Amino acid sequence: MHIRVINPNTTSAMTETIGTAARRIAAAGTRITATQPASGPVSIEGHFDEVVSAVGVAEEVIAGEQGEDPVDAYIVACFGDPGLLAARELTRAPVIGIAEAAFHMATLVSTRFSIVTTLGRTGIIAEHLLENYGFRHHCRRVRAAEIPVLDLEDKPEAALERLVAECRRAKEEDNIGAIVLGCGGMADLTARLTDEVGLPVIEGVTAAIKLAEALVGLGLGTSKHGDLAFPRPKTFTGRFEGLSNLGASD
């Protein structure tokens, strides 16, 4: 089984962190490739960043579909799940966003959870996803440790200290059974945070890997009936000319 993990930002160190965490949790027969767009934001910290990065996600899925190395499942490794539905239009393989995966896993081990994310300005994005995915009533609170995303790579110990403190506050104040981490760059922190806080801590990259393995094992792929059918071939202009007439068909 080949799973392609797409880091929607363009920071190579974070792509490596995500890929390493994915390989550590993957089953023996699963091969992980971690990729990132050729262009786009170095970190994703708002709505504008997400819009730009969604194009890169789509391009990475197209590259996977057109490459010589078949891909069995894709992971969108940013907690905003940028471009997730568009990516699903481009392939029959399962495509899983890490926020959606983490929410599902959290509800299997607890009745209520809180999200601990990076910056407060991204909290509304998590709230939108909770509503769209139907998990709003499971989430007590969206909390921010006020850590710039790149600090997870550049200042890891200071970032971890702030995350531990915020996770402890969530445990003490939110009446929850689990914590969801709100950033793909936290993919390698679940064990340390679980030990420090004493609650199940769910991170979306690793959760998505196990869900992808399950879907592929069950022979389930993205439905091509209805809104997730392949895009209608048409002409794109300007910088998107290369996306014209992708050639996919039902």
Domains of the chain, by residue range, sit at: 2-97+207-243, 99-204
SS (H, E, C) 2-36: EEEEECCCCCHHHHHHHHHHHHHHCCCCCEEEEEC
Measured in degrees and rounded to the nearest 5, phi and psi for residue 139 equal -100, 125
Measured in degrees and rounded to the nearest 5, phi and psi for residue 28 equal -60, -35
Alpha-carbon span 75 to 223, nearest angstrom = 17
The three-point CA angle 60-71-228 to 5° equals 70
Residue 137 neighbours by CB under 8 Å, 6+ apart: none
pLDDT value, residue 246: 82
Alpha-carbon span 57 to 65, nearest angstrom = 12
pLDDT value, residue 247: 61
* 2-97+207-243, CATH topology level: Rossmann fold (3.40.50)
Residue 237 C-beta-side C-alpha neighbours within 13 Å: 0
In tens digits, the chain (250 residues) has pLDDT values of 999 999 999 999 999 999 999 999 999 999 999 999 999 999 999 999 999 999 999 999 999 999 999 999 999 999 999 999 999 999 999 999 999 999 999 999 999 999 999 999 999 999 999 999 999 999 999 999 999 999 998 998 999 999 999 999 999 999 999 999 999 999 999 999 999 999 999 999 999 999 999 999 999 999 999 999 999 999 999 999 989 988 654 4
Contact criterion met (CB below 8 Å) for 188 and 154: no
* 99-204, CATH topology level: Rossmann fold (3.40.50)
